[in-house]
Structure 1
Amino acid sequence: MEHSFEPLKNDLIVRAAWGQAVERPPIWVMRQAGRYLPEYHQTKGTRDFFECCRDPEVSSTLTLQPIERFAGLIDAAIIFSDILVIPQAMGMLVEMVDKKGPTFPNPLKSPSDLQYAELMQRHVDVSTELDYVYRAITLTRKKLQGRVPLIGFCGAPWTLFCYMVEGGGSKLFKEVKTWIYKYPDEAKALLQKIAELCVDYLALQVKAGAQLIQVFDSWAGELSPASFKQFSQPYLEYIAKHLPPKLKELGLDPVPMIVFPKGAWYALDAACDMGYNVVGLDWLHAPADAVKTVGDRLIVIQGNADPGVLYGSRASITQVVKEMVEGFGWATRKKGWIVNLGHGITPFVNPDDLRFFFEEVHRLTKEAQ
């Protein structure tokens, strides 16, 4: 079923992501729909987090909250969902535990685990298992009425694998390191299966109405450079290589693709050659150094203010924005940069301080013209 949506009134981020020169750098922030907003808590009520993700009406309401609150200041919406919907679709139980975060009560122990064999053999139909995400995307596109584009996303295979074997977030990453150094072939087989599901899932998000996609490799920085080349990079490349033909097969136009290998500062050069249009940077990168690394490649950089600055003074926020505007060379380049934080906005941030961040980006980039 093809959808008809209103034409885009603001296509700034789409043009910027394709590498075109633009009148100002587009802005959005990771986790912009979320718990720092009082209206998020009102809408969520007593619902479980994943219950919100699975209810298209609630998901679309939450997605639109920052677009309405910061109208005219931000240039994209990102669907309210979670990276762990893929392990859920694969048949693993994931619960959101208060003060602990996402938890897998029965994580993958080893390749001899019956659950591993079942996961590898199971045919996963993401079109039916994750139908609620597509319905939320279509509903959100309709509600947006072309105000800004809608971003779809997935977790990277490596990051999803980490959660599936660690059972949640981790400090030591003991279980996943055991897998890659003791059972590398079995780890790679599962990573490949996840990568294939990511391609199907992202393609169906685009079919439902997503206009850009982002792949979040949140735990990329836990890998050494040599391990990154084995256990993350090939699967990120697989997604970038196979998504465009999959979209073509579905009769869809290509969309800009963003990759965000958080913490893997050593992999920026490699990330520029993975086949994505945009590379997200965390706050461990100096903007000017990143621009040098990209060189004359047609790669757009996204980022990269430290989210922690939003706990600071207005003067600190101004300073960080100024450093980005100068470091990314906005005054001379006029392209190649999408403004974002270096990771998701953190809890307890005052929304007015985020508004000030947005306003300073508008002001300082205009001054730099």
Structure 2
Amino acid sequence: MTDFPLLKNDLILRAALGKKTERAPVWIMRQAGRYLPEFRAMREKYDFFTICRTPKLATLITLQPIERYDGLLDAAIIFSDILVIPQALGLVVEMLPGQGPHFPDPLKVPQDVDTKLRKHVDVHEELGYVFEAITMTRKALNGRVPLIGFIGGPWTLMAYMIEGGGSSTLSKAKTWLFSYPKESKRLLQKITDICIDFLIGQIKAGAQMVQVFESWGGELSPYDFNIFSLPYITQIADKVKAQLKQEGMESVPMTIFCKGSWYALESLSNIGYDTISLDWTIDPAHAKAITKGRVTLQGNMDPNVLYGDHEEIRITVRRMLEAFGTGEKYIVNLGHGILPTVDPENAKVFLETVHKVGLELNNK
């Protein structure tokens, strides 16, 4: 293991593990990226995936919000993308301006799994640049805050690989589920195996916490979620922890985020993750009642609130913190990623209010 600087702020790690905290820690999904003018300036010079594949650039961008919001964020998240796994499998993925991710040659029929995808993926060979970026960033953070690593959930990655990009219906991916269920499970397992190796590699490289983004979980019915998502995200938690233990390494806190899968809260709280991240459609009282303190909760302000005026942001943050509680088993975040046209000053108001109100409520 690399020698890293001593961690000065472990608030988020304590919260994820259910320990008491002097205030609720906070970070923002997609906090390093497109809403920041310093990121947009970088994007004028470099292609999106060039940044992902260049550890020095990924490090620089990961640090941008930490430096802009000095002392207000309790974690950094490595600048990367969930679609590096499909790239590692051999698919071409482009990031098109104003359109987002695009696969010029997606999977169309089950036979494509054998003809278009690599049979074996060595994550160190294909994704070593992410590990290098994590190690470099962990050192550059100099112990200011912990570093989070992440992956996309298997169902979400499969859907992208078949749809060829974003989709409002996921009709192509769902055609696979209902026309080729056996082949779909085979593909999901193939993706899952890489997810496990990739997360273990990230932890070994220096990630102090990891999150699984099953961003399209809510596009599945509860029945189909239990078949095509839950078994695979369960495997990820189980096998990552088991392999690290086998190698004599401690695991790190693991977070699961299944956007829209409100119906799965009870299941998600029983599959080995330390934290469940919630989208904004879930009431805090409901989430607490269902999960019964088994896990830490993370979230869940609607990212669109950041388009409101400063007073509305402060009111919403206070209401959220009062509902979740601030001294134990709670991490403040948005209910999804920060949107690209948000004013960075509004994000600052959000963070400042979390600090102020969190300390106030904890000292009552």
- Who is 1:35 aligned against? 34
1:1-369 equivalences under 5 Å are: 2-112=1-111, 115-118=112-115, 122-297=119-294, 299-330=295-326, 334-369=327-362
Give the match's secondary structure for 1:301.
Answer: strand
Q: Which runs of 5+ in 1 are unaligned?
A: none
Instruction: Report the Cα distance in structure 2 between the residues aligned to 1:4 and 1:185, rounded to whole angstroms.
Output: 45
Q: TM-score, normalised by structure 2?
A: 0.97
Residue-pair matches, total: 362
- The alpha carbon displacement at 1:192 in A equals 0.7
- The alpha carbon displacement at 1:4 in A equals 0.7
Instruction: Report the Cα distance in structure 2 between the residues aligned to 1:357 and 1:45, rounded to whole angstroms.
Output: 28
- Aligned residues with identical type, % of pairs: 53
Cα deviation code 1:227-254 (max 9, x no counterpart):
0000000000000100012223444211
Instruction: Report the Cα distance in structure 1 between the residues aligned to 2:228 and 2:242, rounded to whole angstroms.
Output: 23
Instruction: Report the Cα distance in structure 2 between the residues aligned to 1:33 and 1:48, rounded to whole angstroms.
Output: 16
- The alpha carbon displacement at 1:265 in A equals 1.0
Instruction: Report the Cα distance in structure 2 between the residues aligned to 1:192 and 1:217, rounded to whole angstroms.
Output: 15
Aligned 8 A contact 2:110 2:180 in 1: yes
Q: TM-score, normalised by structure 1?
A: 0.96
Aligned 8 A contact 2:90 2:117 in 1: no
Aligned 8 A contact 1:120 1:193 in 2: no
Aligned 8 A contact 1:120 1:190 in 2: no
- The alpha carbon displacement at 1:120 in A equals 6.4
Aligned letter for 2:76? A
Aligned 8 A contact 1:288 1:329 in 2: no
- The alpha carbon displacement at 1:134 in A equals 0.4
Instruction: Report the Cα distance in structure 2 between the residues aligned to 1:283 and 1:234, rounded to whole angstroms.
Output: 25
Distance 1:119 1:199, change over 3 A: farther
- The alpha carbon displacement at 1:327 in A equals 1.1
Aligned 8 A contact 1:36 1:350 in 2: yes
Instruction: Report the Cα distance in structure 2 between the residues aligned to 1:17 and 1:282, rounded to whole angstroms.
Output: 17
Instruction: Report the Cα distance in structure 2 between the residues aligned to 1:158 and 1:285, rounded to whole angstroms.
Output: 21
Cα deviation code 1:114-160 (max 9, x no counterpart):
x3113566111111100100000010011000000000000000000
RMSD: 1.1
Instruction: Report the Cα distance in structure 1 between the residues aligned to 2:329 and 2:357, rounded to whole angstroms.
Output: 17
Aligned 8 A contact 2:89 2:118 in 1: no
Instruction: Report the Cα distance in structure 2 between the residues aligned to 1:239 and 1:272, rounded to whole angstroms.
Output: 14
- Show structure 1 runs of 4+ deviating over 6 A: none
Instruction: Report the Cα distance in structure 1 between the residues aligned to 2:337 and 2:110, rounded to whole angstroms.
Output: 33
Instruction: Report the Cα distance in structure 1 between the residues aligned to 2:21 and 2:251, rounded to whole angstroms.
Output: 20
Q: Which runs of 5+ in 2 are unaligned?
A: none
Aligned letter for 2:243? K
Distance 1:319 1:179, change over 3 A: same
Cα deviation code 1:14-65 (max 9, x no counterpart):
1111110111111001000001111112233321101110000000000000
Aligned 8 A contact 2:91 2:117 in 1: no
Aligned 8 A contact 1:269 1:294 in 2: yes
Aligned 8 A contact 1:77 1:149 in 2: yes
Distance 1:80 1:121, change over 3 A: closer
- The alpha carbon displacement at 1:182 in A equals 0.5
